[in-house]
Copies of this chain bind each other. A is one copy, B any other.
């Protein structure tokens, strides 16, 4: 579960656990040692996590224990009514969606679904959606527009599924149509990149009035591995590619592609759901509140301007 660069810290953590256990059961107390170790851990932890490299960030973004859409639903929403199907072909599990309530705010929540177990991952195709997933998302967004509630889109995908059937049923068309329809959807759209923002598969539900990113999430036109194998003919150059692709939240904020970074707890969101999720929730609610005051027409005008100015001319 731990990543390479975390090893020193993990070793200390293990030692600490031992000490704490000893402290409980024996007469001899290790209070000073524990205090010492705690201090050391904090320092190392700070060093380890304060400045992750882009490639390390990619690893955190993909961490097997990172909060997934079902965790956000459990952690942020007091209600989730899942809605199914694209009314045309199927009910994809790579993208799920439904009515959701966050505090008093009702939204249409859509997002990629990854799993933590093998079973879950097979069911959700590792977060790689098929065309019917994008079409289901569009249907739900249109329903949100009709019901005058905002759309909240959670992004976490390695990319749209590259399969024979997905191509046959129009992966390209499904993504393209969403891009077009989201541009003129007359209801607020808040997008949060929670983990991996993988290329067309991500932006396919990622056009919004506000685009937020968790501090250890990534968003890229291609995976670092893919980029490295193409440009350097060497997949092991992924760390170099990760660097070059400027896929971290900080870089994306600088590039004007995202609007705000949601800070994760030290070590990454997976280390403390109870710290990570409230921050995400608070940020979403703040933006929803602001957007709720803007008319549908005005929203689409602003959204157009937002995307029109990406790329500097």
Which residues on A are within 8 Å of B, measured CB to CB? 87-89, 131, 135, 169-170, 173, 177
A131 contacts across to B, CB distance below 8 A: 88
- Using Cβ atoms and an 8 Å threshold, which residues of chain B touch A88? 88-89, 131, 135, 169-170, 173
Distance between Cα atoms of A250 and B173 in the complex (Å): 46
A173 to B87, CA, bound (A): 7
Interface core residue of A87, A88, A131, A170 (most chain B CB under 10 Å): A88
Chain B nearest CB, measured from A258 CB (Å): 31
How far is A163 from B154 in the complex, measured between Cα atoms in Å? 38
When C-beta atoms are compared, the residue in chain B nearest to A170 turns out to be B88
Name the B residues within 8 Å of A170 (CB-CB).
87-89
Report chain B residues within 8 Å CB of A173.
Answer: 87-88
Q: How far, in angstroms, from A177 to B169 measured CA to CA in the complex?
A: 20
Q: CA separation between A131 and B89, bound complex, in Å?
A: 10
Nearest first, the 9 closest Cβ-Cβ pairs linking A and B are: A87-B173, A88-B88, A89-B169, A88-B170, A89-B89, A87-B170, A88-B169, A88-B89, A88-B173
By a CB distance below 8 angstroms, the chain B residues around A177 are: 87
Docked CA distance A169–B169 (Å): 12
A169 to chain B, nearest CB (A): 6
Which of A89, A135, A169, A173 lies at the interface centre, i.e. has the most chain B CB atoms within 10 A of its CB? Answer: A89
Contacts of A87 in B (CB 8 A): 170, 173, 177
Bound-state CA distance A173–B86 (Å) is 11
A169 to B135, CA, bound (A): 14
Give the distance to chain B from A105, nearest Cβ to Cβ, in Å. 31
Give me 9 other A-B pairs in contact (C-beta within 8 A), A88-B88, A88-B89, A88-B135 excluded.
A87-B170, A87-B173, A87-B177, A88-B131, A88-B169, A88-B170, A88-B173, A89-B169, A89-B170
* Complex CA distance for A190 and B177, rounded to whole angstroms: 30
* CA gap between A87 and B135 in the complex, in Å: 12
Q: Smallest Cβ distance from A136 to chain B, in angstroms? A: 13
A89 proximity list for chain B (CB < 8 A): 88-89, 169-170
A-B contact pairs, 10 of them (CB 8 A): A87-B170, A87-B177, A88-B88, A88-B89, A88-B131, A88-B135, A88-B169, A88-B170, A89-B89, A89-B169
User: In the complex, how many angstroms separate the beta carbon of A257 from the nearest chain B beta carbon?
Assistant: 29
CB-CB under 8 A from A135, the residues of chain B are 88
Complex: how many Å from CA A131 to CA B169? 14
